[in-house]
Structure formats: structure tokens, C-alpha cells
Structure 1
């Protein structure tokens, strides 16, 4: 099994999207089936992680979409966009396939995203309160809980989330 050093972070391309979608579906089921149930996770994933949704993110202005690649497979992905005239980064997605979690890939993805927006002063994200692994990861990176959302991502799925922030 590859170590984190075998992975490099690069900008995603359209040819990566089917593999990224599969990674997201696997990761979401692994993480959220116990919280929301498999059917609900499939419904959300079909909307948020469709090829059309991923394609739109790839083309979104003032954003960065990166993957962790080892030349054979993609082990993780991250997507972020700026707001407030580029002063704030909103980290929309950072996922590492369950098979590769705990190997530094998430840290490498986060570091790349943070460096992509040199004018930014703050980075924010939303995380499911019951996702203790993600919360611990972000808290290790210096994120602090700043509030709550009743609709994570504003996508109409009524998913509660914690809002985290930290300086860049």
C-alpha cells in the first residue's frame, strides 16, 4: 500500500472527475452511513458529487480543485473558493479515501489549498458535528469552532454543521 510520500498534490482536471466522484462516494458512505443512513448518504452524494457538480467546481472562478495522486490512483481531493474579495478562503471539500487516511495526505491537500490564495487572511469550513475524526483533524490545524449552520453548504439538505475558522 502506498505511503503518503508516494502521493503528490496537483490541480485536478476533467479526466480525474470520475475517479474523484468514486472517492467521494466511498468516503461519504464510510463516514456518514452511521450518521444519516446509506440511502440518505447516496441521495446527498448523487447531488453534491455528480459529474456535473464536480465539473462546475473545476470551472468555478477564484477557486482551486486539487487531488493527491500517486501516478496510479487518487487518494484524496480538496476544493476551495475565495469570498470577500479574496480575503477569505472557504474550504468546501477535503476528503481522503478511508484506505489512505492518517498518512499525511489531508495535511498535504490543506497546505496546498492554503498556499493557493496568497491574499487570503482567513479560512473557514463547515463540518458535521458527529464527524469526530474531521473535527480532530481541523482542530489540530488550529481551527476554532465559531458557530453553527442548519444547512451545511447551503444546499437545501438541512444538514447541521459546525463552522470553523482560522487565520491563514
Structure 2
């Protein structure tokens, strides 16, 4: 299976939304209530918000045989040496094939000059935490925040690049 990592385009919006919805429902089943998931996805991945991600940040897609099978969204933080990984999702049937690793590596290549990459992950997303740890991320801290009427338990992680 040949994977191409490229910049997201307007024509990719529906596929990005599909990957986000499919992956969220599988990843957060039993962790985040379904109604909270639906509310979040309808806002965060609305056509307008996906367009804004393309315009204001680095939104990459992973494509295989003409199909979008994953995406990652990065941005530089307040300092020019820090960046944030806002989202990375790979369709369930394509997980475990190195696509997430390729998306992260491409993002790191495109975000030249950064010394660290931060992310937040739901504390009960054990598969996600294991993936990030395997890529060299380490825990910074834990926090809780209100999330559409639900208390989200978050682990902050960092990948130090120097």
C-alpha cells in the first residue's frame, strides 16, 4: 500500500470529516458520551472550521489509492520554536500501518525550526498514549476541563526535538 502525505485541499473536506467521525467514535466509545462526540464533531469539523484549519495551520492528509485514510493538523505555538499537534486520525482499517508515524514526520519536516511538539490526549485513550509514547513523546501533566457538558481528563505530552 503506497501512502502519499500531502497538504489538504478543499475537495478533501468530506473525507477529513468522515475520517474524524469514524475514528472518534471508535476511539472514544465508552470514554466520551456519544452525544458529546457528535456535538464536538459537528462544530470542530464543520466545513468552515476545516477550511480555517487549511488556511491558518498545517493540515496534512494521508492518501492511499485516491482515498483519504488519515490526517494531521499542526500549528506553530506562540513562540517560533514550539508547535502543537491538534489532531491526528487514521481510519480504523488503516491503523497500525505506519501512517500516523508518516503524518507526524511530515509535519515535523514542514515545521522547520521547532524544538518541541506538544499535544493533548484524553487520559483514557490508552492506545493513543501508547502510540505517542512510542514516538518519543513524554507526559508533561494531567488536567481536567469542561468539554460540551462533560469533564475531559487530558494528558499533555511533548516531543523534545533537541
Instruction: Please indicate, yes or no, whether the TM-score normalized by the shorter chain is above 0.5.
Output: yes
Aligned to 1:11: 7
State the alpha-carbon separation in 2 of the partners of residues 75 and 83 from structure 1.
Answer: 27
- The number of residues matched between the two structures is 161
Structure 1, gaps ≥5 residues long: none
Deviations 1:86-122 (A, max 9, x none): 2101000111011100000000001001111111011
CA–CA distance in structure 2, aligned partners of residues 166 and 70 of structure 1: 27
TM-score by length of 2: 0.92
| Cα separation, 1, equivalents of 2:16 and 2:31 | 22
Match of 2:154 among 156, 161, 164: 161
Q: Secondary structure at the match of 2:141?
A: strand
Pick closer, same or farther for the CA change 1:155–1:15 going to 2, 3 Å: farther
The aligned counterpart of 2:102 is: 108
Gaps of 5+ in 2: none
The answer as to 2:31 corresponding to 1:35 is: yes
> What is the TM-score normalised by the length of structure 1?
0.89
Aligned partner of 1:89 in structure 2 is 83
Question: Which residue in 1 is equivalent to 2:49?
Answer: 53
Tell whether the 8 Å contact from 1:78 to 1:109 is kept in structure 2 after alignment.
Answer: yes
Confirm or deny: 8 A CA contact 1:151 1:159 kept in the other structure: yes
For the residues of structure 2 that align with 1:58 and 1:32, how far apart are their CA atoms?
25
- 1:32-68: CA deviations, max 9, x gaps? 12212222211111111111111111110xx311000
Q: From the two aligned structures, give the one with the greater strand fraction.
A: 2
